Structure 1
Amino acid sequence: MNLHLKKNVTIGLAAGLLFGCGGGSDSSPVDASGKQAAAALAGAPQPGSDAAGKKNLTRYVNPFVGTADSSKPATDPVPAGARGGTFPGATTPFGMVQWTPMTPSNGGQNHPVGYIYKEKTITGFPLTQMSGSGCDGNEGELPVMPTFDTSAVGVNAKENFDHKNETARPGYYQVTLNDGINTELTATTRTGFGRFTFPAKSAIASANKTPYLVFDATRTNTIAATTGVIKTEGKDALSGSTVGGKFCGARTYTLYFYAKFDRNISAAISNGKANVSFDASTSPAVLMKIGLSYVSSDNARKNLEQENPNWDFNAVHDAAADAWNTRLNTIQVSGGSDTEKRKFYTALYHSLLSPNTSNDVTGDYIGFDQKMHQVAAGRTQYVNYSNWDVYRSLIPLTSMLFPKETSDMMQSLVNDADQCGAIPRWAPINVDAGIMPGDSGVPTIMGGYAFGATSFDARKALDYMTLVGNKADVQCTGDHVRDSTDRMNDYLVHGYAGMDNGWWAGSLTFEFGTADFATSQLAKALGDNMNYQLFLSRSANWKNQFNPAQKQLLPRYRNGSWMLNPQPNADMVEGNAEQYTWMSAYDARGLFGLVGGNDAAIKRLDAFFQDLNAGMNKPNFYMGNEPSFATPWLYNWTGAPWRTQKVVRDVANTVFSDDPGGLPGNDDLGAVSSWYVWAALGLYPEIQAVSGLTIGSPMFDKVVIRWADGAKKLVINASGAAANSPYIQSLALNGQALDMPWLWLKDLKDSATLDFSLAASQSQWGKDSSAKMPSFGLDGFSTLADALNNRGIGSDGQQTVRGLEGYTYDMGGWSYSSQALATAGATPGASFSFNGVTFTWPEGKSGLDNMVTQGQVITFAKPQAADTLALLGSATNASAAPAGKLVVTYTDNTQASFDLRFDDWTLGGGSGKVGSYNKIALTSAHRIDQNGNADTTKAYVFYWDAQLDKKRAVKSITLPYQTDNGALMHVFAMTLK
């Protein structure tokens, strides 16, 4: 956003009338308690309203929400998770500058570090801040402090302010310190603008005081001593740099600045600190503008000159406020209480703080390779992606509302991958911090694409997704994108990450499966059917950790044994087994089938929601942390959507508030706040990589969502809406009755109207809809050919696609040789007979030629009676032949269960023997590696059969979803005879 501002007497006068010297005219200020200040003129027209229906919505934002420990705290919060960790300072939507007060952190004990509401000391006003992130290094660089006593700044500061003398609203922060200095801050995208009003001349003279602004480039929020440089630029400016970063141990970076004053200055500079003094006797309101850059001080100066060339503080504040008001007006709500509006618009505000602009007005930015790059014309390069947190609800929200900006955010991640080798999973500034499990950059990108942010290089993004999903050792800035080579290798060769890998390994499989599902959906959208089928199947890997006896998702070891009592936040990251059991929302129907059906799922979920912010240890819902976000909406898949409506409303009413303790845990760059926005709308992106929304119930009488084209809108009417009225009695889309809690986004984006009828009494709306709800399990196949999901046959002398492990048979780089198999009698698409049974060998034209068994259900178009079910296959990475349950379902719905067993495809490299359950059907004289090189190890394909009740017709066959020893089973062909 480029601001070319001129002095405007009318704006200045209006600002003075509304707020005195406090700044612009966007809204009535919110004080630290979250209440409306009395500065607005009674009966005056609402500022910010216009003929197009723009409302004054910034007045409902309380930036102090989340700055105190939660008023509904978790019993056992995640580390640093007792407080929202937000900040009240001045910024713009997705701005580089976030200029905010900084308070002490009890010697570093209270996290997140930044602004902590219970403190009464401001140690400086840093120009950057990461909102709601728990680790040290959450920015907080270059604190600036007005003072009369330079020795009482920073660590030496004493109690110096009271919340009653403090206000904040979008784009503006103000505090009068105990020494009488009034500090006001506002911002443009890349610059800060401060107005520091010192006491009158008489007060200064009588006390013989000298006014100062202290610049400290040698410390940040959490770095007690860092490298900083400051120098003067002429008579009225400073420039310099500071080294920041180390977020969760990541590398550092350099932040540059250029600051200019509205008067001459004197600067005493020593070792990266500057005590700047000036004459404030005749003009006590000292103005200071400052530009930032991650490239150079000269670029910081250019940012300042282009975005804020003049000296009109009120005009800049008005522009910042208007930028926020424009964003907030994307969703206009009517009805409800002022408290509910404050909760809603504050949550929306917090959802739009990050990711943050990184490039300068010149287009320059520092990439992940530490080199300078130019962002493409018309685009913005963004940084600060807490992907593990934001992929679940925030990115779908910003993509739906602001597809252009979010497309640039997705392209930024692709640019990062170009520079570091993979899509980063947790990216502060220009590094992958390598924190939190999984591969969360992948669902972030697909969540963006699914919800409307499609203007980026999605094809290249898919290339990076399939790279990291198929290769054990992929790194970005020195960190393994999928945690470690051993963990990803386990996932590829066993279908789950074994607990042999230690800390947090028990929750990796769920995250990897989510990334694989996202990859499958982007592949499908781009017409890549091979990768669609391959990654959709791998997304079912979560079932490999479903313990059938305990009916819970539990960690396993490589040998297939179970860890029955995993330790929260040790074996499973920031949570426990019951919380993770409900995470695989993309296959809710499959999960409920394993749990014991809809009734069993309802009973379990009812117990789960006995606590709405439990923390890590208790087997209950934890609103303060992301793995539980989707769980309240799962009732919609059980045939009891009224339970979702009640639970979501209870969470919104009791766990969130509009005061400083109003967030249930770390906001994590807007993640928790975005959940509240969706809850208030009565919609939720339950399946993050799929462009649809499940339904709760709206909190307001009317909601108008204006789509990015400026012409179309979604209108949500909710007759009977009230805090205690969550139950849907009826629902219609564009006048047509709906009977299920699901909407496809495409049906909402072309000017649509949703009409809810709500009441305080429970209804049975949607009770018959569970079977129609979208669920992406492996149950939609009519032939084995449709279910193929692995590439296991290569050609001698020819490199496998990309030469990646995941495109090979054993997921470790080795495959069958097509030439050797042909010599043994199996050629693509041809018939092959063994033991009196004729099979069709897979043709492989799709790039897939076998199926890793993952619980696939093959439902025959024409049921068939047979004496024998026969399969050809083998196992990989099996020290002993794995066994898994194969279920035959007859047309009368009776079932027969069999132990499917296949020996290892190389018989342990030649040291093993064929078991009585198998016969050798094919012997390949050699196998090949991913580069097409042959070795002398023989590879086998085995025959297995089972006797059926020939008096019954076979309706379907369900393949095993896990094996007893953690090995993988592959099927090449299947026949009923």
Structure 2
Amino acid sequence: MRTSGVVAVSALVLNNVANAAGLTDYVLPDAGTINGGNTFPGVSLPFGVIKLGPDLYTGSDSYSGYQATGNFTGFSLLHESGTGGAPKYGVVSQMPVVGAIENPLEDHNDTRSAKDEARVGHYKASLGSGTTLEMSATHRAGLYSYTFPKDSTSSNVIVDVSHVLPSFRGQGLGQSYLGGNISVIKDPQSGSLHYEGFGSAGTARQNGLFTSADILTKRRLTRLLSEPNPLATELASYDDTPSIESTARLGAVFTFNSTQVTSRVGVSFISTDQACKNVDAEIPRDTSLATLEENVKKAWNERILSKITTTDTTNNTNLQLLYTSLYHMNIIPTNKTGENPLWSSSEPYYDDTFTLWDLFRCTTSLFQIIEPVAYEEFIRSLVDIWRHDGFMPDGRSSFSNGVTQGGSNADNVLADAYVKGVRGAVNWEDAFKAMVTDAETVPPNNNDSRDRSASTKEGRGALPDWLEHGYITTKYKRSVSQAVEYSVNDFGLYQVASGLAKTDEANRYLNRSRNWRNQWNPDMKFQDFTGFLGPRNTDGTFKKQDPLSCGGCYWGDDYYQGLPIEYSFNAHHDIEHLIELCGGTDAFIARLEAMFTPGLNPSGDSKFDKTLFNPGNEPSFTTPFLFNYVGRQDLTVKYSRFNAKSYYNPTPGGLPGNSDAGAMESWVLWVMLGLYPMTGQTTFLVGSPWFSDLTIHLGGGKELHITTTGGSEDVYYVQSLKVNGQTWDKAWVTWDDVFANGGTMEYVLGSDPVKWATGPAPPSPATQHDDSAGGDSA
């Protein structure tokens, strides 16, 4: 389906929040922009194509284009938020330049004269030349508003079709300009100048962006530019449409005798004609910057922010963290429905997924609650990508799959959606076939220089070992982390197969989901703890391994972005068996507590007190909540709250690491809500909410009301809980309990822990359906 209108929003009735329309006032777009957070502070709608903002140069990678220091190199149309790997996009920029320009295709840049100003729907940059540039955006269009110095004798805007965000990492991941074209047309009625262009960057021409823009001011002269002829003939006549195409750097310079210049820009991945239609439909001529800003605010308020509301306004910092996190969590993926140049389909299309390895743990489950319509579209998009590209993505951008860091984690996302009742227009028979492709088909090796042992583009590259041995040997890189993820992926197939009454397939994948146990080395030791997930040599023997060392924790190592002790907690579908392997309940509690003991990780980041738990990395995300499985819900509250309070705040440096496209923000949101999802299951682990009341608006008039009494910043241990008015003795709830039809959760909080959760432990489905593990048979 094609997106409709400038800002597609749905009406929402708010029952318990004062000034809900002003929730954007709590959003700080520049939060998480420095110290490795990599968030995007510019202007975007939820999942919008246009992400209009600055590109700055410091000699290091600018993943979102933004740097707190350095010089402006342009203001471009497409960006990512919170990503790593290498910068993406920065495609087609405008750059204001004051004074005579000898060579417009030189690397023109400018300093800052004041701190950038960022708020929802509006971005302002003050350049050293005295020029200010203000911006706003719609879904597929943007507006630049320039104010040049009054004493300027020459005001210029350089349009650079060949502009991209560069990479300095030297890993062959950087973008390059591949070619493009630009044409300049004069409107016979208004006299304004209109340019149309195409710029291709990255690795393939289909990654190209078509753009169409007008320059709304009295024209003096224009030049089309291309290397090696940067001083092309000045255009004085527009009887014909001047245009130029080149694989060399390419652009145009517009020079004005006015200090006020406005440019409307539309984009498309289909054609320049579509780009023109997008800008005219979404930003009609004479639309003001203020109008666009209000539209953007309205979209964020109604579509995202007002889905979680509170009347508890006593702690402004908590409110800023809540709504800023919701904001940054929903910038990407990008809804490019109607803009897919590769195939024609009636299905939605979502791009810029960075990556499901980061997002499946607790982001996509919140995505379903906050934006159920968009979430269903996203699920359908994953399946449609499989139909046309052969595999679902783990990461995807510029209409191409890649990269896969561990397992085929789209399987987890689909399983989570299925068990929580997502149906709608999802073709679940096709979805299961897509999952089976991941589970049974070895993807072609894409010979990634970081790991040549198997595909890093899609699917499960180490599948031959998995199918033959039931474990993964060191023949394949990241063998241990892939093994535990493949187990979770297979559990996802079991869940969907069970729901579709595919009994044989369900049994097959449930049995395979326990194969992580084959990676368990009982001889690995740390302190008094014995047994951890370890690498196996090609002859099946265990390789000697320190539980606190992962080498570089990178593509060529046995563990990816996590220590062996971290990964050893990650079989979340089989926790009961994991507890048994660890020596029982008391030993498991002690092992968990060791994760949060300062000073035990000699190679750890000092800002995390060198704990084995890493609050800035996804393999650690669920660990503090596992106390709920062993009767210590109080320790879940203690450690999740401590880490959230210690390492998260709504400031530019307020994230513990790379945002990972909102993964970090979603983790802290769950902590604030007092719940945590077990992906692929219907279980939510109970924590302790940060507000005296919260309402989660679920759509269709359904709401989950969460209240606390007796709590404060220093008083947060759960004393008792009622769910839907009934006294509750379990440290977990299910989707049906509180989300499927709404519900209530009433907490009483106190300063000291009490043993209130005396009921059964959370489910451990892979164990409880395993006769050999002593659980209940299916």
Q: TM-score with structure 1 length normalisation?
A: 0.68
Looking at structure 2, the residues matched to 724 and 612 of structure 1 have their Cα atoms a distance apart, in angstroms, of 25
The aligned counterpart of 2:24 is 58
The aligned counterpart of 1:471 is 441
- Are the structure 2 counterparts of residues 485 and 638 from structure 1 closer, same or farther at C-alpha, using a change threshold of 3 Å? closer
Query: SS of the counterpart of 1:423?
Result: coil
AA in 2 matched with 1:128: L
AA in 2 matched with 1:528: K
User: CA shift at 1:104, angstroms?
Assistant: 1.1
The aligned counterpart of 1:259 is 213
Which has the bigger relative contact order, CA under 8 A and spacing at least 6?
2
Give the CA RMSD over aligned residues.
Answer: 2.8
The aligned counterpart of 2:319 is 341
Pick one of 216, 219, 229 that aligns with 2:160: 216
User: CA shift at 1:622, angstroms?
Assistant: 1.1
Unaligned runs of 5+ in 2: 8-13, 167-174, 188-192, 227-248, 449-453, 525-530
The aligned counterpart of 1:307 is 282
Looking at structure 2, the residues matched to 172 and 50 of structure 1 have their Cα atoms a distance apart, in angstroms, of 28
Tell me, yes or no, if the aligned pair for 2:73 and 2:110 is still in contact at 8 Å.
no
- Are the structure 2 counterparts of residues 159 and 552 from structure 1 closer, same or farther at C-alpha, using a change threshold of 3 Å? same
Tell me, yes or no, if the aligned pair for 1:123 and 1:154 is still in contact at 8 Å.
no
Q: Deviations over 1:42-78 (max 9, x none)?
A: xxxxxx9999973411011111111111xxxxxxxxx
Query: SS of the counterpart of 1:90?
Result: coil
Q: TM-score with structure 2 length normalisation?
A: 0.85
AA in 1 matched with 2:708: A
Q: Deviations over 1:384-413 (max 9, x none)?
A: 351111111111111122111111111111
User: CA shift at 1:225, angstroms?
Assistant: 4.6
Bigger shift: residues 445-454 or 556-565: 445-454
- Kindly indicate whether residue 111 of structure 2 is the aligned counterpart of residue 160 of structure 1: yes
Q: How does 1:526-545 map to 2 (within 5 A)?
A: 526-545=500-519
Query: SS of the counterpart of 1:375?
Result: coil
Query: SS of the counterpart of 2:721?
Result: strand
- Kindly indicate whether residue 133 of structure 2 is the aligned counterpart of residue 176 of structure 1: no
The aligned counterpart of 1:560 is 540
- Kindly indicate whether residue 656 of structure 2 is the aligned counterpart of residue 656 of structure 1: no
Pick one of 468, 473, 478 that aligns with 1:498: 473
Looking at structure 2, the residues matched to 151 and 620 of structure 1 have their Cα atoms a distance apart, in angstroms, of 56
Q: What is the identity percentage for the equivalent residue pairs of Structure 1 and Structure 2?
A: 27
- Are the structure 2 counterparts of residues 775 and 753 from structure 1 closer, same or farther at C-alpha, using a change threshold of 3 Å? same
The aligned counterpart of 1:332 is 309
AA in 2 matched with 1:487: A
Pick one of 708, 716, 731 that aligns with 1:726: 716
The aligned counterpart of 1:89 is 42
Q: Deviations over 1:840-886 (max 9, x none)?
A: xxxxxxxxxxxxxxx5447799xxxxxxxxxxxxxxxxxxxxxxxxx
AA in 2 matched with 1:59: D
AA in 1 matched with 2:720: S
User: CA shift at 1:331, angstroms?
Assistant: 0.5
- Are the structure 2 counterparts of residues 190 and 860 from structure 1 closer, same or farther at C-alpha, using a change threshold of 3 Å? closer
- Kindly indicate whether residue 200 of structure 2 is the aligned counterpart of residue 243 of structure 1: yes
Tell me, yes or no, if the aligned pair for 2:26 and 2:319 is still in contact at 8 Å.
yes
AA in 2 matched with 1:530: D
Looking at structure 2, the residues matched to 482 and 396 of structure 1 have their Cα atoms a distance apart, in angstroms, of 24
User: CA shift at 1:448, angstroms?
Assistant: 3.3
Looking at structure 2, the residues matched to 383 and 89 of structure 1 have their Cα atoms a distance apart, in angstroms, of 17
Q: Deviations over 1:146-179 (max 9, x none)?
A: 2215579898456511453x21112221122222
User: CA shift at 1:334, angstroms?
Assistant: 3.3
Looking at structure 2, the residues matched to 134 and 453 of structure 1 have their Cα atoms a distance apart, in angstroms, of 31
- Are the structure 2 counterparts of residues 487 and 705 from structure 1 closer, same or farther at C-alpha, using a change threshold of 3 Å? same
Looking at structure 1, the residues matched to 442 and 6 of structure 2 have their Cα atoms a distance apart, in angstroms, of 51
- Are the structure 2 counterparts of residues 215 and 647 from structure 1 closer, same or farther at C-alpha, using a change threshold of 3 Å? same
Q: How does 1:880-919 map to 2 (within 5 A)?
A: none
Query: SS of the counterpart of 1:777?
Result: helix
User: CA shift at 1:666, angstroms?
Assistant: 1.0
Tell me, yes or no, if the aligned pair for 2:393 and 2:458 is still in contact at 8 Å.
no
**In terms of Rg, which structure is larger?**
1
Query: SS of the counterpart of 1:57?
Result: helix
Q: How does 1:736-747 map to 2 (within 5 A)?
A: 736-747=726-737
The aligned counterpart of 2:179 is 227
Tell me, yes or no, if the aligned pair for 1:256 and 1:293 is still in contact at 8 Å.
yes
Tell me, yes or no, if the aligned pair for 1:152 and 1:158 is still in contact at 8 Å.
no
The aligned counterpart of 1:959 is none
Tell me, yes or no, if the aligned pair for 2:42 and 2:118 is still in contact at 8 Å.
yes
The aligned counterpart of 2:67 is 116
User: CA shift at 1:526, angstroms?
Assistant: 2.2
Looking at structure 2, the residues matched to 63 and 408 of structure 1 have their Cα atoms a distance apart, in angstroms, of 26
Q: How does 1:349-360 map to 2 (within 5 A)?
A: 349-359=327-337
Pick one of 144, 147, 162 that aligns with 2:94: 144
Looking at structure 1, the residues matched to 105 and 421 of structure 2 have their Cα atoms a distance apart, in angstroms, of 45
Tell me, yes or no, if the aligned pair for 2:630 and 2:761 is still in contact at 8 Å.
no
Looking at structure 2, the residues matched to 280 and 545 of structure 1 have their Cα atoms a distance apart, in angstroms, of 71
Looking at structure 2, the residues matched to 162 and 702 of structure 1 have their Cα atoms a distance apart, in angstroms, of 43
Q: How does 1:181-580 map to 2 (within 5 A)?
A: 181-200=131-150, 203-204=151-152, 208=153, 210-222=154-166, 223=175, 225-235=177-187, 236-246=193-203, 253-265=207-219, 266-271=221-226, 272-279=249-256, 281=258, 284-312=259-287, 313-326=289-302, 327-335=304-312, 336-359=314-337, 363-366=338-341, 371-376=342-347, 379=348, 381-451=350-420, 453-455=422-424, 456-473=426-443, 480=455, 487-501=462-476, 503-550=477-524, 551-565=531-545, 566-569=550-553, 570-580=557-567
Looking at structure 2, the residues matched to 231 and 354 of structure 1 have their Cα atoms a distance apart, in angstroms, of 31
- Are the structure 2 counterparts of residues 453 and 179 from structure 1 closer, same or farther at C-alpha, using a change threshold of 3 Å? farther
Q: Deviations over 1:505-552 (max 9, x none)?
A: 221101111111111111222222222221111111111111123211
The aligned counterpart of 1:748 is 738
Looking at structure 2, the residues matched to 3 and 170 of structure 1 have their Cα atoms a distance apart, in angstroms, of 19
User: CA shift at 1:504, angstroms?
Assistant: 1.6
Query: SS of the counterpart of 2:513?
Result: helix
User: CA shift at 1:114, angstroms?
Assistant: 1.9
Query: SS of the counterpart of 1:400?
Result: helix
User: CA shift at 1:105, angstroms?
Assistant: 3.8
Tell me, yes or no, if the aligned pair for 2:401 and 2:458 is still in contact at 8 Å.
no
Q: Deviations over 1:246-282 (max 9, x none)?
A: 5xxx99711111112223544312125434335453x
Pick one of 749, 754, 761 that aligns with 1:772: 761
Pick one of 55, 69, 79 that aligns with 1:102: 55
- Are the structure 2 counterparts of residues 449 and 300 from structure 1 closer, same or farther at C-alpha, using a change threshold of 3 Å? farther
Tell me, yes or no, if the aligned pair for 2:161 and 2:250 is still in contact at 8 Å.
yes
User: CA shift at 1:481, angstroms?
Assistant: 7.0
Q: Deviations over 1:659-702 (max 9, x none)?
A: 110111111111111111111101111x2011231111111111
Tell me, yes or no, if the aligned pair for 2:480 and 2:533 is still in contact at 8 Å.
no
AA in 2 matched with 1:276: V
User: CA shift at 1:226, angstroms?
Assistant: 4.1
